[in-house]
Structure 1
Amino acid sequence: MTLPDIYDRVRIRNGFLTLAQMVQLCENGNDIFDPFSTLISAHAKIGKGNIFYPGVIIIGTSNHAMEIADSNIFHSNTLIESSSGPVYIGSENQFGEGGVTIKANREGSIIKIENKGRYLGGAAVFGSTFLGHGSQILGAITADNCHLEQGDSWREPSPDARGGLLKGHGLAKDLTVGTGLVINGSGNFKDSLIEPQSNYHKIVKQSQ
């Protein structure tokens, strides 16, 4: 038995794609820089144009959906798990740098992430959480049962048109952050801390 055969046997036993299946993902238009350190669930549905840096782990089961669309970037130390509920990820999101953990690992959990979001710097997502188009979590923040409403991406010149944002560090639980709004927290995040994103970024006026 060759070394690749041994590695594949271990992968199959733990529900991950074999090395040949990882190669096929690349043939289908994804970039995987290190297939040995990258583990992707055999039950995951993966689109095209995704970039997987070394050390990305995607865990799934046959009981819950793990769906990833197109053109996402998964930096090292990204962990995504759908062991007790589904995880749906849209397109053109950035996960990391600085690590990110996304786990639907409690009964009744469902995590849906739309498009063009950024989740960086040790962000962790749990429970039933919706991260709308253009939303962001920046920092070592645990978002549990949160709803960040959709808006434009972080590249939008007008910050108050961007998706909901959490920044700082600490616990954000059972919160809704609307379009163009932010909580800049340190410790426990609260509704009373919600403010316009334009408090932190100059509004760029469009020329007439």
Structure 2
Amino acid sequence: MVLLSSSAQHIYWLGRYLFRIGHVASHLPFSTDQQAAEFAQALSLQIDDAENLNQFMLAKAQPYSLLSQLEIARDNIQELRGLLTAEAYAEINYLIKNTPSDALAIQQVVEECCSILKAEQEEIFLFFDIGQAVEQIDTYFRFYQNIDHVIEAVDFKVKRLFSLGWNDLRPSWEILKTEPYLNQFYAFTYKLENQFEVQA
């Protein structure tokens, strides 16, 4: 199977959005203002108390809320209508469209969507998996966690792209592995996301 670069890009971003949504949902509800303020700061949100952050994340009207992010994920799904199996497309659409404003339910929807996509063709899941891996690294940078083990864990996934002819990624990935800093990460993601245009 040969994926169109535009399809690969939509799958990649779907992976990123679902990881991000699942990660934030797993921390809700916040019980202390300090915990909420630190979390919001890592996401570049100007919110400094638990009640407001909890409400913000579950409000449909907020463009950066979890439900709004799920809608963006669903937009990516719409672009994959002819690529995913009819069952997978319908099921993911249904799950996202009917997600209640509840953190635990959102986590379950994300997990179910990931399971459905894992059962799709290998190349589809590869780009989804790459998206999840990139967002995981981004998350670790945002929350000042040690990213060495994360990079090590996703190394084999990135290397699978080389076998598809994406060898231009190799230098920036190797630099990130030896110098795991934010600038190197941005250089890698810029190169990766540029590849979708190059491969078009």
After TM superposition, is the score higher than 0.5? no
Q: By percentage of residues, which structure has more strand?
A: 1
Relative contact order (C-alpha < 8 Å, sep 6+): which is higher? 2
Q: What TM-score do you get using the length of structure 2 for normalisation?
A: 0.26
Q: By percentage of residues, which structure has more helix?
A: 2
